[in-house]
């Protein structure tokens, strides 16, 4: 088989060890939503949805917020405590069966349920699936620690998942406790750690699959086997006040992964990982990330898009007070559109702003593919800081599908102490003359 060739789309801001929102920007640096773009004719204002606009007409989301408030109240009618179903919480006893039995009880209840994982205890839980649909809403209160088995043979049936919530509606997972993937043994056996090892998959610590009306907040998720937290085919999701951590050299430990998910808000969350802090991939729409602190990590990525010649669509993404970074591969088709990056501060950042549709994983040049992901309606606004690389702004767009409707306002990226920064802009169509520093060299 010949060497595979790829063309890929990568939209990224800030491959950085420090990520903070620009709360220090003066009011003069902020514009009212859409104010600047309303002066421009022909621009698609859908590129700049406010978060309230993402949900304002969504009846199911409003219902979810009511359910969430009721689940958080003291009037919850049914309490299901895992200790009452045989869990020991001593960190040594396998408590998986107790959790499964407790979930069956909770899911079959016609009254709203408070599912309790008590404080000051460590619960050893092997692979487990919390399946729906359930008869009523459930609030899972994780007060203690849920700890994964570090025996890789316990994952022989499914190497990709540890804890899965599947098809659950009206669910809140919170409580101030810890979900610990015990991932060190997996990192040690990764081919990225030791090239002599075979490259194999590892479990995602916490997966939400086909869940609707979901809240995940006030938890610490640490040391996953691979990805910390994944939302797949979900709708109407609120994520807030999480602390997501793994060593900076831990392989493939993405923080929050969003795929084929609609209406999700991620806010007030601290992420320190060995890979992307947040990754948003094909099929995801109406995503807001705000108040994100990321470091160490690779930032926030949009991709992979169009992998394996597949159709790829990502739209209505708002990153406010965060940075993007990542890589994608493919040669497929589709669209990345209506994406907004604003109020971002960078310090000593490698490759701060990039759109790249020409990636090749071999030493020899790759052939230009006829298909590509269309990139259009992208706003960069109020982005300041320093670049650790000579090229601070790099647009390398496809000749067949040039980047269109790009707006850059109040972008200033200075070179570090030893270099001056520059901008390279290939096959990009700005809606108006960009207000950037450095200016495009071509």
Element (H, E) at 343: strand 333-356
Strand pairing category for 300-302 and 10-15? antiparallel
Query: Which residue in the block uniquely carries the two structure tokens 């090749």?
Result: 360
Q: Residue 404, Cβ neighbours under 10 Å: how many?
A: 17
Strand-pairing partners, residue 430, are 406
Residues 7-32 as b/e (b if ≥16 CB within 10 A, e otherwise) read bbbbbbbbbbbbbbbbeebeeeeeee
In 99-228 the beta strands, taken as DSSP E runs, fall at 113-117, 122-125, 128-131, 138-142, 145-148, 161-166, 169-174, 178-180, 204-209, 212-222
Q: What are phi and psi of 147, to 5 degrees?
A: -120, 135
206 in Cβ contact with 162 (< 8 Å):
yes
Catalytically annotated residue among 228, 257, 298, 401: 298
Strand-pairing partners, residue 264, are 237, 287
Chain centroid to CA 130: 22
CA distance 182 to 161: 13
Q: Which two tokens stand for residue 185?
A: 């043994």
CA distance 113 to 6: 49
58 by Cβ neighbours in 10 Å (0-12 / 13-18 / 19+) ranks as: middle
Residue 39 CB partners (closer than 8 Å, separation 6+): none
CA distance 169 to 138: 9
299 in Cβ contact with 15 (< 8 Å):
yes
272 in Cβ contact with 245 (< 8 Å):
yes
295 in Cβ contact with 278 (< 8 Å):
no
98 in Cβ contact with 82 (< 8 Å):
yes
112 in Cβ contact with 139 (< 8 Å):
yes
Annotated active-site residue 298? The verdict is yes
Residues marked as catalytic: 298
């Amino acid at each position: 088989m010949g060497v595979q060739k790829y063309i890929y789309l990568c939209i990224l801001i800030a491959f950085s060890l420090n990520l903070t929102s620009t709360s220090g920007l003066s009011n003069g640096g902020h514009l009212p939503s859409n104010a600047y773009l309303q002066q421009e004719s022909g621009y698609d204002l859908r590129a700049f949805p406010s978060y309230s606009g993402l949900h304002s007409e969504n009846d199911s989301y409003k219902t979810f917020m009511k359910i969430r408030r009721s689940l958080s109240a003291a009037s919850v009618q049914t309490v299901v405590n895992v200790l009452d179903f045989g869990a020991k919480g001593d960190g040594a006893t396998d408590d998986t069966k107790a959790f499964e039995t407790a979930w069956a009880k909770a899911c079959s209840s016609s009254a709203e349920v408070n599912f309790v994982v008590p404080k000051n205890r460590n619960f050893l839980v092997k692979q487990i699936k919390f399946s729906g649909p359930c008869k009523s809403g459930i609030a899972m209160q994780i007060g203690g620690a849920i700890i994964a088995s570090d025996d890789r043979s316990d994952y022989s049936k499914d190497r990709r998942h540890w804890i899965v919530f599947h098809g659950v509606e009206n669910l809140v997972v919170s409580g101030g406790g810890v979900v610990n993937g015990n991932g060190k043994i997996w990192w040690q056996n990764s081919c990225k750690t030791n090239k002599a090892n075979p490259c194999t998959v590892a479990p995602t610590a916490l997966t939400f699959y086909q869940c609707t009306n979901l809240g995940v907040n006030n938890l610490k998720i640490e040391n996953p086997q691979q990805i910390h937290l994944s939302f797949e085919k979900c709708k109407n999701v609120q994520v807030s006040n999480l602390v997501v951590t793994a060593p900076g050299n831990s392989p493939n430990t993405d923080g929050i992964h969003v795929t084929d998910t609609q209406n999700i808000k991620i806010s007030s969350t601290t992420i320190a990982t060995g890979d992307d802090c947040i990754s948003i991939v094909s099929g995801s729409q109406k995503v807001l990330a705000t108040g994100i602190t990321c470091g160490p990590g690779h930032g926030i990525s949009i991709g992979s898009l169009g992998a394996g010649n597949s159709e790829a669509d990502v739209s209505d993404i708002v990153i406010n007070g965060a940075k993007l970074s990542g890589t994608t591969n493919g040669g497929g088709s589709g669209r990345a559109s209506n994406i907004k990056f604003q109020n971002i501060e960078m310090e000593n950042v490698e490759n701060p702003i990039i759109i790249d549709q020409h990636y090749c994983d071999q030493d020899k040049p790759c052939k230009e593919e006829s298909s590509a992901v269309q990139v259009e309606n992208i706003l960069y606004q109020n982005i300041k800081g320093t670049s650790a690389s000579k090229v601070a702004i790099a647009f390398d767009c496809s000749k067949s599908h040039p980047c269109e409707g790009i707006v850059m306002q109040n972008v200033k990226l200075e070179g570090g102490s030893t270099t001056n920064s520059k901008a390279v802009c290939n096959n990009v169509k700005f809606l108006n003359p960009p207000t950037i520093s450095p200016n495009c060299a071509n």
